[in-house]
Amino acid sequence: MTLSGQGRTLLKDIETLRLKPYNDQTGKEINKWVEGATIGYGHLISQSDWDLYKNGITTEEAKQTFGRDLAPFIAEVNKDIKVPLKQNEFDALVVISYNIGASNFSKSSVVKLINDPKSKTSYTSLDSAWKSWNKSQGKVSFGLINRRASEWNIYSQGIYQGW
């Protein structure tokens, strides 16, 4: 499967387009590399790539980077999920994996519970496992609470809405 146009549009809306580098934790523009340096539609800038992005990018470059960034998350969802999915379920899984990272997604209780609803995890439901990804730097984030609720609405009801 691949991400639908509706899923792609919502993910871009959630991530928002930023043409100048910024600190993902604070949202403030930056002029030197920091952990969490980000640009475009949520593209994390590595320290080695800082010189490529430090002066900003165009909208077209942001779109191209977003397309390249998405590919491994789409592949990860296809690899990790062993049961048939509806398009909205697949889209929601790509959106959450894009945010929490492919490695975290792969090891998550979300994946375990989708593949086997009876699997033993710390969570009583897929809903609670999904919404547990609500922390940034160890602290509950209202932005992540809202994001998880939006993703859950896509997954469980096919409602594609931001917050």
Contacts of 68 (CB under 8 A, 6+ apart): none
**Residue-wise pLDDT tens digits, 117-140:** 999 999 999 999 999 999 988 999
**Residue 127 included in any domain:** yes
Assess whether 151 carries a catalytic annotation.
no
**Residue-wise pLDDT tens digits, 43-89:** 999 999 999 999 999 999 999 999 999 999 999 999 999 999 999 99
**Residue 111 included in any domain:** yes
Q: Which domain holds residue 124?
A: 5-157
Give the separation between CA 95 and CA 70, rounded to whole angstroms. Answer: 9
Choose the catalytic residue: 15, 76, 89, 151: 15
**Residue 144 included in any domain:** yes
**Residue 163 included in any domain:** no
Count of structural domains within the chain: 1
The pLDDT value given to residue 104:
97
**CA distance readout (Å), 159 to 4, 91, 97:** 13, 11, 18
**Residue 153, domain CATH:** 1.10.530.40
**Residue 32 included in any domain:** yes
